[in-house]
Structure 1
Amino acid sequence: MRLEIATDITERKQMELELRAAHEKARAAALEDELTGLHNRRAFFEFGEQLLNQSARHQTPLTLVMMDLDHFKIINDTYGHQAGDEVLKQVSGLLKARIRDCDIVARMGGEEFAILLPDTDMTMAHVLASRLLALLCNLVVSYEKSRISPSASIGISSLGNGDRRLEDLMCRADEAMYQSKAKGRSRVTLAT
């Protein structure tokens, strides 16, 4: 009888552990972009709001870099969507390799990426964004017999005294990113 009860308890604990592991795996999958392995938009906002609240509470700098790949539709139309996917994967790998563990990088959708940089002011963010842009412009993605050279337009904003939501930073970084596009693309623009 005791052996049966012990076995039943062990089996129940094993089932609970398996269920917990499956739950954690599903939660992680819900926060990850399937193609690139980066955080997705949902994760960016979930983790980003925490960083924003910490930065506001401790009065430390927080900077947002928004990046949109230039002429990505042309890449897809010319080389095919699988080639475009390969570009997205390699750009994502480049971003992951160049940021700190405390930073948040996410694919926001399509060919748009966001990088949230805690304890980073505009000057430091501009240096990082310029380095990323230079690396990106030197990146050559080989796909079948094609060689694809992506570029990007980048906008940067930082946490201001009146900012209460991540969307406040994003709005200014987006505006700066579109100014980069309007000025000829493949450049970094700081939000005013």
Structure 2
Amino acid sequence: MDSLTSAINSRYFYLLVEYELDRFHRYGNPFTLVYIDLDNFKAVNDCSGHAGGDETLKSVVAFIQTHLRRTDIVARLGGDEFALMLPETNLDMAQSVCTKLQSGLLAEMQQHGWPVTFSMGVLTCQDSAKPQSVDELVQRADELMYTVKHTGKNGILYEQYMCAPKSPTSHTTDSDTA
């Protein structure tokens, strides 16, 4: 468990995703991984010190935990990076969940006056996908998130896992209108 945010740590997250991957291979139940990075987080630390940064991280996790199902998992991977595992969640459901989550998180940050936005990479395993490892899945979700960061930040990039990655679909939020 992460001592600051009470989210699970990366080691436990990987174990839970491994379990979900086994369930997927056996039963075919879809699941989604979400890789989240806080944009402009350094500005919070610069303006409010590390105490302000810590409050931001705790607020993010608290918001996520109260707005997801009890079966969903939130993990702090390190620094200002988080991952979610959404069992029994196909691509359509993931798009709905992540859009609402990002919108709510943006409102939470604005309420506190924190200049933070969110870049998300969303990878769904469903249908005939046959991912071989948790590392492969987390790495791909991370790559999707970095694509968002390098193309303007504050957006969501979705992809359904295929043996050869399919063209991702994106959703970008303009922070001025959110």
Provide TM-score, normalisation by structure 2: 0.83
- Evaluate the alpha carbon distance shift between residue 85 and residue 142 of structure 1 in structure 2; reply closer, same or farther with a 3 A threshold: farther
Structure 1 or 2, whichever has the larger Rg, is 1
Letter of the aligned partner of 1:98 in structure 2? H
Please point out which of 40, 49, 63 is paired with 1:80.
49
* Deviation readout 1:32-88 (Å, 9 max, x if unpaired): 100001111111012221111111110111110110000112221222111000000
Alignment counterpart, residue 188 of structure 1, candidates 156, 161, 174: 156
Deviation (angstroms), 1:142: 7.4
Matches within 5 A, 1:1-192: 32-140=1-109, 147-159=113-125, 161-191=129-159, 192=166
2:72 aligned partner, one-letter code: D
Verify the 8 A CA contact 2:41 2:115 in the aligned structure 1: no
TM-score by length of 1: 0.77
Partner of 2:175: none
- Residue identity opposite 1:150 in structure 2: V
Q: Supply the distance in 1 between the matched residues of 2:149 and 2:122 (Cα, whole angstroms).
A: 13
State the alpha-carbon separation in 1 of the partners of residues 20 and 67 from structure 2.
19
Residue matched to 1:27? none
Contact 1:90 1:141 (C-alpha < 8 Å) held by counterparts: no
Q: Which runs of 4+ in 1 moved over 4 A?
A: none
| Unaligned runs of at least 5 residues, structure 1 | 1-31
1:102 counterpart letter in structure 2: T
Aligned pairs, number: 158
Percent identity of equivalent pairs: 36
2: CA distance, partners of 1:100 / 1:82? 29
Cα-Cα RMSD: 1.6
Secondary structure of residue in 2 paired with 1:80: helix
Flag structure 2 segments of 5+ consecutive residues without an equivalent: 160-165, 167-178
Contact 2:38–2:118 (8 Å) recurs in 1: yes
Quick one: distance in 2 between partners of 1:142 and 1:110? 22
Q: Which amino acid aligns with 1:50?
A: Y
Specify the code of the residue in structure 1 equivalent to 2:120.
I
CA distance in 1, matches of 2:89, 2:77: 21
